[in-house]
Amino acid sequence: MPSLAPVFSSAPLLVASGTETTTAIAVILVLGVGSLWLGSRARIPSILLLLPAGVIAGPVLGILNPDEQFGEILFPLISLGVGLLLFEGGLSLSFERTKEVRTVVVRLVTVGAFITWIIGWIGAYVFLDVNVRIAGLIGAVLVVSGPTVVIPLLRLAQPRHSVAEVLRWEGIVIDPVGATLAVVVLDAVIEDADPARAIVRIATTLLIGGLIGVALGFGFLTALHRHIVPDHLENPIAIALAVAAFAMANTIQPEAGLMATTAMGLVLANQKRAPVRHVLEFAEDISFLVLGALFLVLGARVDLDELADIALPTLALTAVLVFIARPLAVWASTIGSGLSNRERTFLLFVAPRGIVAAAVSSVFALELTEAGVDPGPLAAATMVVIVATVVLYGFTAVPAARLLRIARPPNRAIAIVGGARWHLQLASALQEVGISTMIFTDRQIERRRARQMTLLAYDGDLQSEDLEEAAEALGVGLVLVLSDRTELVTAAVTRLGHIVGRSNIYALRHAPGTGGVGASITTRPAFGSHTAEEMDDFMTLHAEIAVLDEPADQTSDPSSDVIVLASVDTSTGSISFGESGSGTVIVARKTNHQEPQLTKENEKS
C-alpha cells in the first residue's frame, strides 16, 4: 500500500497557497471596487486610481504578486475578462442610433486604425530602443482605445448625441479589430509571416469570431422568445454563453474570442424579439468588477525600474500619437461625413488607451519571451501611454466640449412622473424659475393637458429606448415621482433611474397598499413628511401652487395653509424638494376664493 506521508507533508503548502490566492482575490476586489467608488465621487476616470492602487499593492508593498498567486491561469483570466467587457460594450450599441455617423465609425476602425498603427510604428522605432518589428508590434497594440476609458469620459463631457455615438462605437469596435491586428503583427515577429498571410489572418479571425458570436446570440434570443429559459436564469445563461463564445472562437482561431463576444452583444442589442435590458444591466455590474480587477492586476505587474527607464521616451511616443496620429486619423475618417468642424475637432480629445492595450501587451510580452524573442519595453511602454493618455484626455475632454459648444445642456431638468392637475401646475412653476421639465404619464388625456399648458410630455412607449434618448436630450438630472399608479411608476423609475441614478429620484410617500413606488425601488422622500394622500387632499381644498421670491423662512408656515414644495437657487439651478432655503421658493397654499380645484372624482372623468 503506498504511503500517504508525501500527501500529508505537502498539505500545509497547498493550504497556504490557497489562502494566499484567496487573500489576493479579496484585496483585488476591495481595492478595485473602492477605487471605482472614489473615482465616481471625485468625477475622474477610475483608471487614474486603479493603476496606482495596483502598483502600491504590488511592487511597492508586495501584497499582490499575480504571477505567483494565480500562476498559469492569470493570462487566460485576463483575456476572458476583456472578452466580457466587450460583450457588455456590444450590448450598449444600437445600429439605429448611428445612421448618420455609421460611415465615420467604419472609417475610424479601418482607415483610422491603419494610420494610427503606421504612425505609432514610426514613433516607437524613433523614440524607443527597439528593432523595427517590435516597434511595429507596439504600434499595433496602441491602436486600441476601449470602452472602459472612453465611456466614462463621455459621461463627464456630455457631447452631442452624434459625436458621443461615434466615440462609443469606435471605443468598442476598435478593440477586437486592433487586437487582431496586433496578433497578426506578433506572428510576423515570431514566424516572419508574409503580408498576404497577414491579411488572410485578420479577415479569418474577425469572420470566425463574428459568426460564432452571431450564432450564439441568435440561439439565446430564440430560447428567450420561446420561453425556454426561466426568468431567473436569463442573466446567468447570457454570461455563460458569452464565455462559451469566447472560448469556442479562441479554440478555432486564436484571438477570435474578442470579436465573438462583441458580435454576440451586438446581436442582442439590435433585435426586437425579446427584451434584454436586464441582461445589459447585469453585464454592467459584472463589468465593473472585471474592470477593477484587471487594472489592479496589471498595475501590480509593473516593473518600476523599467518604467522609470522608458518614461521619457514613451511620453514622446505619446505626443506623436496624440498630436499627429489622432488628428490625421480623424481627418481621413470624417471627410464628407456631415459632422461640423467643431464636432470633428472634439473627436481629437477622446482617444485614451485602456484595458485591452494593457492586457494584450502583457500577454504578448510573455509569448515573445517564451519564443526566445526580447519583447523590449512592450508592456511598460504601453502602461505609460495608457496613463498619459487618460490623464491628458481626462483633463481636456470636458473643457473642450464646452469651448467647442457641443456639450449637451447640464443635467438640471426634472422628469415628473404623473399627470394630475397639480403635478402639471408644479411643472409650470418649475419652468417659470428656469428649470426644464418633462412629463411622463401613461394617459393620453394627461399628455394633452400638459401640452395645452406648454409643457413637454413624453409621448412614446415607456419601454422604448426613445425614453432614455428623450431624457438625455433634455438633460434630465432629477426624477420627481408624484403618481400613485404602480405600473407607471415602476416602468418610468426603472428606466429613468438608469440615467440619473437612484440617489437622484425623489418620490412622495404613500400609505401602505395605495400604490406608488414599490418597496424594491429606493428613492429620496419628496416634500418632507407629507404623503401623496395628504398632498392630494390639500390640493383639492382650494389650494394653488405659487412662486415666491421672498426669503424661504417666511414661507415655512407652521399651520397647514402652506406647504413648501421646492427651493430653487436660480443662479446655479440647484433645487431641493420639501425644504426651505435661500432663493426662490415654490409653495402650495390655500386660497381665499371658493372655486375648487379639480377633484379626484372629476379627474377620473
Tell me the mean pLDDT in the region 148-162: 82
Q: What pLDDT score was predicted for residue 594? A: 47
* Cα dihedral 273, 278, 279, 281 in deg (nearest 10): 140
Task: Give the model's pLDDT for residue 570.
Answer: 65
Please compute the mean of the pLDDT values over residues 481-495 and round it to a whole number.
81
Q: Name the residue with cell 403618481.
A: 483
Report which of 38, 144, 28, 40 is spatially closest to residue 85, judged by C-alpha positions: 144
pLDDT at residue 322, rounded to an integer: 94
pLDDT of residue 150: 86
Q: Out of 262-276, 481-495, 517-531, 589-603, pick the least confident.
A: 589-603
| Residues 465, 470, 471: CA angle, nearest 5 degrees | 100
- Distance in angstroms (rounded) separating the CA atoms of residues 201 and 275: 36
Q: Which of 332-341, 399-408, 515-524, 532-541 has the lowest mean pLDDT?
A: 515-524
**Per-residue confidence band for 580, with pLDDT thresholds at 50, 70 and 90:** low
Which candidate, 363, 285, 297, 353, places its Cα nearest to that of 322?
Answer: 353
Concatenating the DSSP letter of every residue in 377-409 gives THHHHHHHHHHHHHHHHHHHHHHHHHHTT-BPP
How much is the mean pLDDT over the chain? 82
pLDDT at 5 over 70: no
User: What is the value of pTM for the model shown?
Assistant: 0.75
Q: Is 588 strand, coil or helix?
A: strand
- pLDDT given for residue 222 in this prediction: 92
Across 34-54, average pLDDT: 85
What's the mean pLDDT in 269-288? 86
Distance between terminal CA atoms of the chain? Answer: 90
| DSSP string for 7-55 | HHHHHHHHHHHHHHHHHHHHHHHHHHHHHHHHHHHHTS-THHHHHHHHH
Rounded to an integer, the average pLDDT of 52-80 is 87
Do the Cβ atoms of 510 and 531 come closer than 8 Å?
A: yes
Q: Rounded to whole angstroms, how far apart are CA atoms 47 and 471? A: 28
Q: What is the mean pLDDT of residues 68-88?
A: 87
Q: What is the arithmetic mean of pLDDT over 240-252?
A: 93
Q: Considering only residues 586 and 334, tell me which one the structure prediction assigns the higher pLDDT.
A: 334
User: What is the reported pLDDT for 367?
Assistant: 84
What gap in Å lies between CA 262 and CA 428, rounded to an integer?
Answer: 45
Closest by alpha carbon to 420, among 274, 584, 598, 223? 598
Calpha distance 274→178 (Å, rounded): 32
pLDDT in tens, 457-476: 888 777 676 777 777 777 78
Decide if 587 contacts 570 (C-beta within 8 A). Answer: no
Q: What percent of the chain has pLDDT over 70?
A: 87
Q: Give the helix/strand (H/E) hosting 587.
A: strand 584-590
Q: What phi, psi does 575 have (nearest 5°)?
A: -140, 145
Beta bridge partners of 566: 577, 586
Provide the pLDDT for residue 189.
79
The answer, yes or no, to whether residue 411 has pLDDT greater than 90, is no
pLDDT of 526: 82
Q: Which domains does the chain have, with CATH numbers?
A: 13-403 (1.20.1530.20), 413-604 (3.40.50.720)
Q: Is 505 in contact with 493 (CB distance < 8 Å)? A: yes
Query: How confident is the model at residue 98, as a pLDDT?
Result: 74
> What does the pLDDT look like over 19-41, one tens digit per residue?
678 888 999 999 999 998 998 88
| pLDDT interval class at 313 (50, 70, 90) | very high
* CA 213 from centre of chain: 22
pLDDT of residue 99: 73
The residues, ordered by sequence, that sit 6+ positions from 306 with a Cβ below 8 Å of its Cβ are 377, 380
Highest mean pLDDT among 188-197, 236-245, 358-367, 386-395: 236-245
Between 485 and 63, where is the model more confident?
63
For residue 8, pLDDT beyond 80 = no
Give CA–CA dist 82/298, Å, rounded.
12
Spatial contact of 294 and 79, defined as CB atoms under 8 Å apart: no
Helices (H), ranges, 253-373: 257-269, 277-300, 304-320, 326-334, 341-346, 355-370
Q: What is the mean pLDDT of residues 536-549?
A: 78
* Cell numbers representing residue 604 in the block: 377620473
